[in-house]
């Protein structure tokens, strides 16, 4: 806001205010203001101590200084450094000099080119050096300007503006050209940097042909960079030269790659690099016990084309050894996992696959893995055979059960971690199977009527049970022994009865009787004599023996009579001749219990008609004597 202070060379803001009031005098509310140098120099009394009345108007209120609107002095000037105050105070003077110079240029535009005006310009310049003269001149110049003079100034300004535009356009074209050139140079430099980086990257990737092309492109682009960034270009070219002159690059272009300090043909180098990569992966998988992957990597190494001159023999040997170990371990570990699932048959199949691989293992490792395989195979065999034996035992297939248990017990010898209870269980079951097998054989021979064999098998079973009674429970053993004894006795009875019957058929009464008597003795001395079954059998046998004894006695007496009939008949018929007595016939006619009466008959063939001689003869059982017997008795 315009504060109305009087024009002062120490306050540039009031210069703008004075110009505005000069151009707008009609807007002042009190009176016209005539600006001249005299008024500017008037000195008005100070009204700070005046006390104007309400109806009075102080003459100083119409002054052009407008001191009553003055603001308090700004503290900004007080805060300025001491050395800066002259500069601040001279600012309005400089602004006034500039305004006066513009007025002179408007009045005399040709001052800078007209030689006749040079003395005037020189004088004017000297006047300008006087501050008072310059102030008066400035005040005069701000008065109303003639109309013709204003038109001429406008024309000069337009010409001046065209010149400015022309100079500006030329400068813009020059600036644009320089900018385009700079942009072009920087583009080529960037392309050179990019190609250089690509060259380095291709060298690292061992793509040397591509690296060569990229380096050449970088050099070509660098040659287009002129005048600017020459140090950067020089460093870039030096870098590219180092790459192109490096041994790695030169050897790479020749198809060779640096491996362990030696440049080798690319094919051999690739083999070695592939070998190392596969070896690292194989070793990692080997340590992780990832056998399928390890086998794959080791097999890949073995299948590589030979580069023996670069790969140490001991390394190649180690690869083969670990390949063999991996193959063995894959089969062995697979079997171990199956063992955990108690799939014995499948585990044995896997272990049998691993067994031939032992031969390819290193000698130092072979005993260890052979021992592992032996124990695992023994355990699998033991468990499988034990389970098979139990199944066969439950099916009463004694022979197969015995065979399975025998395999299990033989495998147990190679085991250390199988509980002793498992071994004892298998052993007991095997003895049970053997016992049942003997009994079964006895039953079969018994059923076939092979009594002697049946009794022999039963007897073996009984003896076997007696010898291995400790392996069976006491109650079971006693029951089994009693059953066996009973079966044996029954078999004896059946056998001896049949045998006695055979002798009876042959009329071998005494032999049959002897067999029956022996059978009765077996029954009586057995522990089953008190059982009803065997009591009845004994009674039957005793009756049979009694009958046999009577038959035997009768036969004996009949035979006695046949053997002695000559003597007996001659004693009763004195006139007969012994040689004439033929065809003796003896028959029992009466048995009173104490006596046996026989009818004796023979034929006398003498010189005449044959005669039949008959007599009765008795045997006294009590006295065991023979005597003639009368029919009338």
| Burial group, residue 303, by CB count within 10 angstroms (0-12, 13-18, 19+) | exposed
With bands split at pLDDT 50, 70 and 90, how would you rate the model's confidence at 517?
A: very high
CA distance 430 to 406: 8
Under DSSP, the state recorded for 306 is: P
Under DSSP, the state recorded for 594 is: S
- Backbone φ and ψ of 284, nearest 5°: -60, -50
Summarised one tens digit per residue, pLDDT across range 163-189 is 667 777 787 778 776 777 678 778 887
Give the DSSP letter string of 374-438: HHHHHHHHHHHHHHHHHHHHHTT-HHHHHHHHHHHHHHHTT-SSS-HHHHHHHHHHHHHHHHHHH
- What's residue 161's pLDDT? 66
Per-residue pLDDT averaged across 496-518, rounded?
A: 90
How far is residue 629 from each of residues 169, 596, 597, 626, measured CA to CA in Å? 191, 10, 7, 9
How far is residue 319 from each of residues 259, 306, 312, measured CA to CA in Å? 21, 14, 11
Report if pTM > 0.85. no
Q: For residue 388, is pLDDT > 80? A: yes
How far is residue 246 from each of residues 2, 203, 249, 253, 363, measured CA to CA in Å? 80, 10, 5, 11, 49
CA distance 152 to 159: 11
- What's residue 540's pLDDT? 92
Least confident of 180-194, 311-325, 472-486, 597-611: 472-486
Summarised one tens digit per residue, pLDDT across range 59-118 is 444 444 444 444 444 444 444 444 434 434 444 554 454 455 445 444 444 444 344 444
Are the C-beta atoms of residues 428 and 472 closer than 8 Å to each other? yes
Question: What is the SS3 assignment for 258?
Answer: strand
CA distance 456 to 450: 10
CA distance 627 to 528: 47
CA distance 114 to 105: 13
CA distance 627 to 620: 8
Summarised one tens digit per residue, pLDDT across range 20-56 is 666 766 665 544 444 444 444 444 444 444 444 444 4
Q: Please give, one letter per residue, the 3-state secondary structure of 197-229.
A: HHHHHHHHCCCHHHHHHHHHHHHHHHHCCCCCC
Q: Among 35, 34, 3, which residue's Cα sits nearest to residue 16?
A: 3
CA distance 189 to 219: 10
How far is residue 361 from each of residues 329, 352, 403, measured CA to CA in Å? 11, 16, 34
- The residue among 14 and 213 whose pLDDT is bigger is 213
Are the C-beta atoms of residues 100 and 62 closer than 8 Å to each other? no
Q: Among 47, 18, 315, 293, which residue's Cα sits nearest to residue 139?
A: 18
- What's residue 518's pLDDT? 92
Alpha-carbon torsion (48, 53, 55, 58), positive or negative? negative
- What's residue 305's pLDDT? 74
Give the DSSP letter string of 233-257: HHHHHHHHHHHHHSHHHHHHHTTEE
- Backbone φ and ψ of 8, nearest 5°: -140, 140
Summarised one tens digit per residue, pLDDT across range 560-607 is 999 998 998 888 888 888 888 899 999 999 888 888 999 999 998 877
Q: For residue 244, is pLDDT > 50? A: yes
- For residue 319, what are its two tokens? 């690869």
CA distance 539 to 281: 94
Max mean pLDDT among 60-64, 92-96, 127-131, 375-379 falls in 375-379
| Domain map (residue ranges) of the chain | 1-71, 78-144, 430-529, 565-628
Summarised one tens digit per residue, pLDDT across range 405-416 is 888 888 877 676
Rounded mean pLDDT of the chain? 75
CA 414 to chain centre: 33
């Amino acid at each position: 806001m315009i504060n109305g202070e009087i024009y002062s060379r120490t306050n540039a803001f009031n210069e703008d205010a004075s110009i505005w009031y000069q151009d707008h005098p009609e807007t002042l509310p009190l009176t016209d203001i005539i600006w001249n140098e005299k008024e500017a120099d008037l000195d008005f009394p100070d009204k700070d101590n005046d006390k104007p009345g309400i109806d009075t108007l102080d003459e100083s209120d119409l002054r052009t200084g407008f001191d009553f609107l003055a603001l308090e002095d700004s503290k900004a000037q007080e805060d300025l450094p001491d050395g800066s105050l002259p500069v601040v105070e001279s600012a309005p003077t400089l602004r006034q000099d500039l305004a006066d110079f513009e007025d002179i240029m408007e009045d005399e535009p040709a001052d800078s080119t007209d030689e006749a005006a040079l003395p005037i310009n020189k004088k004017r310049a000297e006047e300008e050096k006087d501050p008072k003269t310059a102030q008066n001149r400035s005040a005069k110049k701000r008065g109303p300007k003639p109309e013709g003079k204003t038109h001429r100034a406008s024309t000069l300004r337009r010409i001046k503006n065209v010149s400015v535009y022309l100079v500006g356009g030329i400068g813009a074209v020059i600036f644009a050209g320089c900018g385009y050139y700079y942009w072009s140079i920087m583009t080529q430099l960037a392309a050179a940097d990019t190609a250089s980086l690509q060259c380095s990257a291709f060298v690292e990737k061992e793509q040397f042909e591509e690296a060569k092309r990229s380096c050449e492109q970088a050099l070509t682009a660098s040659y287009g960079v002129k005048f600017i960034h020459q140090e950067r270009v020089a460093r870039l070219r030096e870098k590219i030269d180092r790459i192109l002159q490096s041994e790695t690059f030169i050897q790479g272009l020749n198809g060779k790659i640096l491996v362990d300090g030696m440049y080798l043909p690319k094919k051999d180098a690739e083999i070695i690099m592939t070998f190392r990569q596969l070896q690292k992966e194989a070793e990692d998988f080997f340590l992780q016990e990832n056998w399928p992957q390890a086998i794959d990597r080791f097999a890949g190494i073995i299948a590589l084309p030979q580069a023996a001159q670069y790969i140490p023999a001991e390394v190649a040997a180690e690869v083969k050894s670990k390949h063999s170990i991996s193959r063995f371990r894959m089969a062995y570990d697979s079997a171990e996992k199956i063992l955990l699932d108690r799939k014995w048959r499948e585990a044995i199949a896997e272990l049998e696959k691993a067994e031939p691989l032992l031969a390819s293992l290193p000698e130092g490792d072979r005993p260890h893995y052979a021992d592992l395989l032996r124990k695992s195979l023994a355990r699998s065999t033991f468990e499988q055979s034990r389970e098979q034996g139990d199944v066969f035992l439950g099916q009463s297939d004694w022979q197969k059960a015995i065979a399975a248990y025998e395999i299990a017990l033989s495998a147990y010898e190679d085991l250390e971690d199988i509980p002793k209870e498992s071994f004892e269980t298998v052993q007991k079951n095997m003895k049970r199977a053997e016992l049942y097998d003997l009994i079964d054989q006895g039953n079969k021979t018994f059923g076939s009527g092979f009594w002697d064999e049946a009794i022999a098998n039963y007897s073996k079973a009984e003896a076997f049970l007696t010898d291995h009674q400790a392996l069976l429970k006491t109650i079971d053993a006693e029951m089994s022994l009693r059953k066996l004894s009973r079966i044996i006795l029954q078999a004896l009875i059946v056998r001896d009865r049949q045998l006695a019957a055979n002798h009876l058929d042959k009329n071998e009464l005494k032999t049959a009787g002897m067999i029956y008597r022996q059978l009765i003795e077996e029954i009586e001395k057995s522990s089953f004599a008190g059982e009803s079954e065997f009591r009845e059998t004994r009674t039957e046998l005793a009756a049979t023996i009694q009958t046999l004894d009577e038959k035997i006695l009768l036969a004996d007496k009949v035979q006695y009579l046949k053997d002695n009939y000559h003597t007996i008949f001659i004693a009763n018929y004195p006139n007969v001749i012994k040689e004439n007595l033929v065809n003796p016939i003896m028959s029992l006619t009466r048995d009173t219990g104490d006596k046996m009466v026989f009818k004796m008959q023979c034929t006398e063939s003498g010189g005449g008609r044959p005669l039949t001689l008959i007599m009765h003869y008795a045997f006294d059982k009590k006295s065991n004597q023979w005597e003639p017997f009368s029919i009338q008795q």
